[in-house]
Structure 1
């Protein structure tokens, strides 16, 4: 459990640092990935896997690691951030992202590394570790998301229905009540097909006018940003107004979720025993409505050697003080 006692985010993380080196790595004829390294070149290597999918990296992600002890590797996954082409869906799937992580590891000549990820980043971290357990020194995870049908329907149906019953998650207008784009996602997930003329998923994935797609992307992004923190944060909500970010984030998320992230249902729990010899640290906000604690508990139960820390006064975001504090405690311990 955690009580932050008036601390701020800046109080519990390391100071801002610039990247030591950046690059663009061509992984297919279509996709080129942005990568960067920060901190100590001879330090403990750690790869940071961002959320979304499609969220891209953020300079604050470097701040969870002591820059005098860690060699911090970050990359923008296919189609997002500084990777090119922007918001591209072709050849963009979970297996490809796992391959990209390995390609980057070899490119940087790293033998083994810590893997750090939250939300979708936790999903990708677990799947990467299942495929390459010999390359993972430890998993540092936050906001466990295993992308099962029940988890997707929770966020795109149950929380939406709660929101329409006047339990507001930060939305400042009634758009979700009047147009029901999130409810349409739940219908799509049930039917596993792109149906409905106004379906936001169809708008995001298929070709249509740029203004219509931008509007759909903004609303999809706004829903997630409004639910990410226990206390609504205008800086998060403002991300939806960054149309370049919203386009990649919303379109790529939609692409992955309607395709059930390109793996069989329950893949992570079915393969969990492959991870039995890897140290695993899980930090979970008690009031996380994006990735509810049930999933973290189920993963911990399947892997009882894992250490689960529940932050009593936090929601989903790694930017929440209690979550950030516990993540830094883990990285300091491992360093």
Structure 2
């Protein structure tokens, strides 16, 4: 099922199949507590808690940014053991105002995580995040290392310019040329030299029709490329107005602002601050949204981290091998 890189010099990556059966998600559960928390004069965020009220706390950080959460996000964790905290980041999901870019940065989201932790009277917790959720999980851990018991990460994304250019300018386009045409469609050829900037002008502009059309094209590109096999149901999600607007506007806002980091390698540069924290990483070999190069670079910088390459997976946490590893990692950290 996966290869564990025990050493940063291990470059063979044999992709040996695991003899262990695939782990499934835990059965659906409902929150036992939820609410809305005002975190600024502008933003109110939705939060919920499920599982064991007296259990070990874990916080789920969703992707995007702007992707929001879903009921299935609770199901990676044993509800008998874990106190499961899920929330929608600023402007996403049930949080309000929807798709709002004001006071919406990596650092305000980190502050929100701490606000939620304090509101729920949690001392420290396991932090779980994939894609942009991995960016936020790493950034939060670097900023508040004493609050993090362990990290469970998937589809590593460090918001470096090389990663953004591969997916939004030239790279993944060579693998999904049919869907790339749809991504190019709203942008005149004269602006193709900087597609993120072209999208940003429209997603923050005053033409509401053009804004929505661009939001759907941007979102469809990511939804189409996020799995090893294109999932038409996932692609159709990009046609939902509210989802597309929040997803595209907030992602583009973060990306043109370089994640609000003061250097391109901010996460890698600060890894020594969190090297003592147990870290598990599941990475799809054929992830084109967040290519394996980033997970591998992180592993080289952080030899103690446990990296598993899933040989038959793309980006999505819902793919069998990745899902199984994430559930297994949560089981592994039960005894921390």
1:293-332 correspondence to structure 2 within 5 Å = 293-332=292-331
Provide, for residues 9-60 of structure 1, a one-character-per-residue CA deviation record: whole Å limited to 9, x for no partner: xx61111111111110001111001000011111110000000000001111
TM-score (norm 1): 0.90
Report deviation, 1:235.
Answer: 1.7
1:1-335 correspondence to structure 2 within 5 Å = 1-2=1-2, 12-162=24-174, 167-168=175-176, 171=179, 174-176=181-183, 178-179=185-186, 184=191, 187=194, 194=197, 199-208=198-207, 210-264=208-262, 265-335=264-334
SS at match of 1:225: helix
TM-score (norm 2): 0.90
Instruction: Tell me: CA distance 1:184–1:309, structure 2 relative to 1, closer, same or farther (3 Å).
Output: farther
Report deviation, 1:169.
Answer: 6.6
- Measure the CA separation in 1 of the matches of 2:189 and 2:130: 22
Instruction: Tell me: CA distance 1:88–1:136, structure 2 relative to 1, closer, same or farther (3 Å).
Output: same
SS at match of 2:167: helix
Supply the RMSD in Å over aligned alpha carbons. 2.1
SS at match of 2:59: strand
- Measure the CA separation in 2 of the matches of 1:181 and 1:278: 47
Instruction: Tell me: CA distance 1:143–1:296, structure 2 relative to 1, closer, same or farther (3 Å).
Output: same
Instruction: Tell me: CA distance 1:56–1:227, structure 2 relative to 1, closer, same or farther (3 Å).
Output: same
- Measure the CA separation in 1 of the matches of 2:147 and 2:72: 25
Asked whether the equivalents of residues 186 and 217 of structure 2 are also in contact (C-alpha less than 8 Å), the reply is no
- Measure the CA separation in 1 of the matches of 2:235 and 2:261: 31
Asked whether the equivalents of residues 182 and 221 of structure 2 are also in contact (C-alpha less than 8 Å), the reply is no
Unaligned segments of structure 2, at least 5 residues: 3-16
Please list every run of at least 4 consecutive aligned residues from structure 1 whose deviation after the TM superposition is greater than 6 angstroms: none
- Measure the CA separation in 1 of the matches of 2:294 and 2:139: 15
Asked whether the equivalents of residues 77 and 83 of structure 1 are also in contact (C-alpha less than 8 Å), the reply is yes
SS at match of 2:48: strand
Asked whether the equivalents of residues 24 and 34 of structure 1 are also in contact (C-alpha less than 8 Å), the reply is yes
- Measure the CA separation in 1 of the matches of 2:79 and 2:111: 27
Unaligned segments of structure 1, at least 5 residues: none
- Measure the CA separation in 2 of the matches of 1:174 and 1:68: 47
Instruction: Tell me: CA distance 1:34–1:170, structure 2 relative to 1, closer, same or farther (3 Å).
Output: farther
Asked whether the equivalents of residues 185 and 200 of structure 1 are also in contact (C-alpha less than 8 Å), the reply is no
Instruction: Tell me: CA distance 1:305–1:217, structure 2 relative to 1, closer, same or farther (3 Å).
Output: same
**Count of paired positions:** 318
Report deviation, 1:333.
Answer: 1.1
- Measure the CA separation in 2 of the matches of 1:73 and 1:182: 45
Asked whether the equivalents of residues 146 and 268 of structure 1 are also in contact (C-alpha less than 8 Å), the reply is yes
